[in-house]
Amino acid sequence: MKHKNIPLNERIIFALDVGSKEEAEKWVDLLGNHINFYKVGLQLFMAGWFPAIEMITERGHKVMVDLKIFDVPETVKLALRQLKNRNITFATVHGNDPILRAAVAEKNGVKILSVTVLTSFGEEDMEEMGFSGTIEDLVYHRAKRALRLGCDGVISSGLEVPRLRDAFGDNFLIVTPGIRPGKNVEIPEDDQKRIVTAQDAIINGADYVVVGRPISRAKDPIAVVKSMQSEIQKGLAS
């Protein structure tokens, strides 16, 4: 497997899951010399809207807008149009073929990542929702569809990444959430079920890892970042 030429300080996308632009700014100032990529999800976007994104990009950092946009195709198209000319690198979308086509048609330089299955879902959740088959099969089929429709990549647990790389090659992006430290560290209020370490995610074929609470809840966030970046380097070298 050929790893992409991505700077180490961009391999970790730090999840700014905070309640205000000001709190997000404190984290960007703290981590900015070590991490160059930040995720703006629903919580921060609703609290800070586009000024929160501008705060990050004006500092020269990259942004993933993780809103998992899911709506009728025309609304999705218009929503994606709002991201134009805002220096946004990635945007996440979720849905069926018409929804993904609408997003791809309006990406305007933003790379579209299709959500496969949330990392907080386990097999029992699939059963409750009426899905037959395994999570791995569902991730595979959703990824196959998304790439066929022109998405630039997918959001996938590290557990399913090997099959995606084996089936679809290296010419697309995989961003992996559900990352936990290599050592046994308890994360308060942890709702993730399909988790891997940063090193294993990279070995399996992920290009980027999304990390939030393991860094934000740590006594020494910088130490955790450096430790995970060391894991990533080992994964790239393996």
Q: Which residues on neighbouring strands pair with residue 41, listed in sequence order?
A: 66
Distances (CA, A) of 137 to 33, 70, 123, 160, 164: 39, 22, 11, 9, 10
Structure tokens given for 51: 């000024």
Q: Catalytic residue positions?
A: 68
Residue 45: name the closest of 54, 36, 32 by CA: 54
Q: How many Cα atoms occupy the beta-carbon half-sphere of 199 within 13 Å? A: 13
DSSP 8-state class, residue 182:
S
DSSP 8-state class, residue 196:
B
Q: Are 34 and 222 in contact (CB under 8 A)?
A: yes
Measure CA of the first residue to CA of the last residue in the chain; give whole Å: 10
Q: Are 103 and 112 in contact (CB under 8 A)?
A: yes
DSSP 8-state class, residue 160:
T
Residue 16: name the closest of 70, 60, 63, 51 by CA: 63
Interatomic CA distance for residues 109 and 6, integer angstroms: 18
